[in-house]
Amino acid sequence: PAILDLRPLIDADAAFDLDDYPPALLEPFQFKGGVYGLPYMVTFRVLVYNETMFDDANLAYPDIQWTLDDFLSTVQQLTTNDGKQYGFASVRSMKSDLVFFLDQFGASAVKQSSDGPQPNFTDPKVVQAIQFYVDLLLNYSPHRRFWGYAQTGVPNNGAQLALEGRIGMWLNFGTLMSSVYNNAGINTRTAPPPLGNKGVNTHDVEQNGLYIAANTQEPEACWTWLKYLSSDPTALQGMSPA
């Protein structure tokens, strides 16, 4: 109720084509024929890698054909026994990383029922995916605790070690952080994550939108401003225009 339906403004604007937006990005803003916002910026999950570390190990760079087995094999080769460098680290969110691996194993930690969502932790696929991630962290990353699900605990040191050039690969969203590492002197690149046969999931896409308040006294002026913002690329900051 707090958001204006943009459909009348869209229909009255001959210069505006709603088909410019991919349907999958527009769908979350639609409800019962109304359009309650426009997708503004979108980011996709990427695999960030330390190119220098790959070159030193004479390893091929990640590409769209990578499977989880390719990913794991490379992580193993990039990890040294002396603890000076690791093949993988979680630098953004361990919870988000875990969801990625659950998706790639075709697993869901929650199942739907007539009583609402229920835990699905004993499903064999869930167990397999979590075991893969736990083994990855314990054997080929600097992490010894799962970080981020409690208010207190061990701070995540993955980002700092990546800035020191000691991490081979990590998952992130968009390309902004890659430039942050490059500015720190770490030669990083972005590649598709190891999707394997499962492909992109809704968890691998993040987007935001532009809206008009339902109680505005100037809907046409707001529409003009909204269209201007939606075509301004200067604020993308590592994201992509929807």
Mean pLDDT of residues grouped by 10 in the chain (242 residues)? 96 94 93 95 93 96 94 97 95 91 93 92 95 96 83 74 94 81 88 84 90 97 93 78 82
Q: How high is the pLDDT of residue 185?
A: 87
Count of Cβ atoms closer than 10 Å to residue 179 Cβ: 13
Cβ neighbours, 10 Å, residue 143: 21
Output the CA–CA distances (angstroms, integers) from residue 179 to 56, 78, 188, 241, in the order listed: 21, 22, 8, 18
Q: Under a CB-based contact definition with an 8 Å cutoff, are residues 216 and 224 in contact?
A: no
Would you state the pLDDT for residue 181? 83
User: What pLDDT sits at residue 154?
Assistant: 62
Quick one: pLDDT at residue 153? Answer: 62
95: left (phi over 0), alpha (psi -120 to 50) or beta: alpha
Residue type, 111: K
Per residue in 5-24, pLDDT (tens digit) is 999 999 999 999 999 999 98
Task: Give residues with Cβ within 8 angstroms of 51, minimum separation 6.
Answer: 61, 187, 188, 189
Position 56 scores a pLDDT of 96
pLDDT for the residue 29: 96
